[in-house]
Every structure is written in structure tokens, then in C-alpha cells.
Amino acid sequence: MPIEWAGLSPELLLPLDRTAELSLRCQLEGGLREAIRAGRLRAQERLPSSRELARMLGVSRGLVQECFGQLQAEGYLTTRVGSATRVAEGAWTTPVTAAAAAAPPRLIADFRHGVPDLASFPRGDWLWAQKEICREMPNAALDYGDPRGILELREVLASYLGRVRGAAAEPSRMVVCTGFAQGLNLVLRALVQKGIQRIAFEDPGYDEDGVAYRQKALGIEPVRVPVDAFGVDVEALAASGADAVVVTPAHQWPTGVVLTPERRQALVAWAVSRKGTIIEDDYDAEFRYDREPVGALQGLAPDRVVALGTVSKSLAPTLRLGWILCPPSLNAAISAEKHLSDRGSPGLEQLAVAKLVESGRFDRHLRRMRGIYAARRTALVDALAHHAPAVTLTGLAAGFHAVAHLPAGVGEKAVIEAARERLVGLYGMSECRAGGRTDPAQLVLGFGNLGERAIRTGIATIADLLS
């Protein structure tokens, strides 16, 4: 897409060598011609005016006009009375790459998990918040600031997490980060600095590639701990010899089970007796349907739990904004890691999120989204009950994904491949299991970014594959 310049002419780099034997006109013609051929100047791209380009290059306007005229005659440029000189449509066609030619067709339904309803991002509220902060903020807010994050956001988040999630939050122990991935990496680096390397991860849980990457990049020794119908197996965790564990207690990823009160107490007891660290990912606890919200595990043991949260599910992943609620023993180390990593997350987005939460517009948005996701959840349940009654759904107490248990004899990978041929995107539980195990055959069905009609159409399209 060509850039539409408003007002001033665009700048253009066209070096001229006044010591060369080649005339300035030939150099200018050749430079423009090559810029178009190389794709530096694209079709319909606006060029500087002849007067402005002459001033930039230190040549006469007549010389530039002669060059424009020659290139127009060759079909490289186009001019119209009262309009700027532009690169002609079709002046140079960039060869189609194999990757572009092989672009996959658009899916009629993509049950991709982990993505909220992108169309429901509160654009009006976001614009309002940005306008308000730009009007109110002092000049000092545009400086680098505290690498832990802007104080206003940390204060608002501490209050919000205490009110909504039952966390023991203090602004001084909060570090703002660019989403969950950075938050987890910062925590793991801080633990390694303290001599802790054996880290447990839930199985199923985060994908093997992500765990392997952290093992290589951060020097940790990962171990997998099984998850059952009650949550993470604390006895297996104790037997693993790990000194830290990454868990998703409010809505286990990806099985969707909720850590039972007995297991929560046992996990805290393990951390106290082992002097271990619990890393809690509180990733979609805002969206609950069939039961009361479960408080953050961090509220039970603030000295032993690192709580991670983001706005990726509640607002949009593109904001790349999250937070780390640190225990006192790791606060300084995590803050130092953040400073070394990037000196702090983008400040304007922090202030905008703080304004949304403080104004009550964030809570209003969450209430609206709970209704939308609940309707889509119902559509998924009804569609499977109608078209594929042999499939059992679990993990629906919260969030916007469910686990589909396939009947005996139905292979996970075969279903995924066949569904893709029908333009329906499915994703297997094997991606989240250690070693990529496919037994039992299960699908992780995301419905956050799918409308109700698309959900029903997608399930109807692949109904026979699920039987």
C-alpha cells in the first residue's frame, strides 16, 4: 500500500555523484528507474514535487522536470494536472514468491485457542483513555521512568487484584512486563540467579517447544508433573525434586480443571516446606460461568507465589502488557532483570490501561464479554450435542476454550488433517503434552474469536469426522 503523504512532500534518497563522468540527469533518471524496479518506490507512490526534489538534490528544477518527462514517456511515472507525480501502476511487477502463491485458503471456522474476540476490543473506550492521558499527563511521564512500570498503573492494578482476585498486592512489589512470555522469562532468570534450576511444568501444559526454548536459553532443568481431574498432582511434584513450579490453578491450561481447595492447600504446604516458589499464571480467570470466581493462589501465600497476569485475554494480545506480582525474596532480582531486558514497557499503554480500570470502563467491558463468551460457549455445546453427541466436552467452567474428548477409534491427528481440508481449523491436546502424546485423543476448541454462526457451521462441517 503506498504512503499517502499529507501536506509536505515525501523525502527521497537519491545520491548524486558530481565527480562522476555520468551526467546528473542520467544519474537521476537511473536512480529513479532503479528505485522503482527494486520496489523502493511502489505503484501509486507519490514523488516529491519537481521544485522540492530540485531543492533536496541541489540541481535545477528544469533538470528534474526533464527526468520526470523521460520516465513518464517510458511508462515509469504518471502525472495528472493538479495532482502529484506518482509511480505508474504496473511500472514494475514484483515476482510472486512461492510462499505468497501457496497462501492457504481462508478457513470457514478456526477453533484456535488463546485468542479473545478481537472485534470486541473497546476501541471507543481506548481512544477516550488515550485522549484523557495525553491531556492530563505531565511532561515527565514521557521520560524513561521506573523500569518496573508507571506507578499509576501499579497502584491501580494492586487495588484491582486485591478487589477482584483476592491477591495480597502492593505497588512496590509489582513489575509491569510485555505479556506472559516476558514475565515468565524474567521470573525464571531471577530463580536461576538464586541457584534454582529444576523447574516443574504441568503436563499437559505449555507446549514442548516453549519449554525446550527456555531450557536452552535460560539454563533451567524442566520436569513435567501430571495434571488430573483435581489439578496438578502435588505428590508427583514433591517427588520430582523441583524447587519451583509453573501452574494455572484457576483454569488449568489446557484441560480447564480447577485446582481443588485440598490441592491448593497441599501446594502451598509444599512450597513452605520445600522453601519453593509457585509461579501462578492467572490467564483467564475473569471469565467464569457455572461457579463463583476462584481467588488467586497468591493470596494464600504471598511470600511463596509469583503471580503473572496480562490484558491479552481481557483486552487484546497486541497491547503486549502484563504484570508480575513478586514475593519479597524475588522482588529486587525480577526488577533488575526487567531493567536489563528493556528498561521498561511502553508507558502510554500503561497509562491508558490504568485509566480504563480506574474509570470503571474495564469492568464494564468484562461484563459485556462474559455475556458474549457465554453465548458462544452455549453455541458450541449445542452444536456438538446435535451433530456429534459422542463427543464429551470438559473444561467449560471458565475462559473461552473447551476440551473435546473424541470417541474410541477416532485419531486426533487424522481428524485435524481432514478438518483442515474442509477449511475448519482444529488443534490437538498433543501439542500441550510432554512428548506430543496423542492418547487419549482430545481437541482443544477455542471459541473466543469465533461468532456463534461460525461455531455452528464449523461443527456441522466436520460432524462425521467426530463420530
* Domains (range + CATH), the chain: 24-87 (1.10.10.10), 109-117+364-466 (3.90.1150.10), 122-360 (3.40.640.10)
At residue 45 the predicted structure's pLDDT band, cuts being 50, 70 and 90, is confident
pTM for the model:
0.85
Q: H or E element: which one contains 63? A: helix 61-73
Q: Are 372 and 314 in contact (CB under 8 A)?
A: no
Greatest distance between any 2 Cα atoms in the chain: 86
At residue 96 the predicted structure's pLDDT band, cuts being 50, 70 and 90, is low
3-state secondary structure of 327: coil
At 19, the amino acid letter reads T
Rounded to an integer, what distance in angstroms lies between the CA atom of residue 52 and that of residue 11?
9
Bridge partners (DSSP) of residue 322 are: 177, 310
Cell matching residue 286: 475473569
Tell me, what's the pLDDT at 7?
A: 46
List pLDDT tens digits, range 145-159.
Answer: 999 999 999 999 999
Q: Are 303 and 327 in contact (CB under 8 A)?
A: yes
List pLDDT tens digits, range 224-261.
Answer: 999 999 999 999 999 999 999 999 999 899 999 999 99
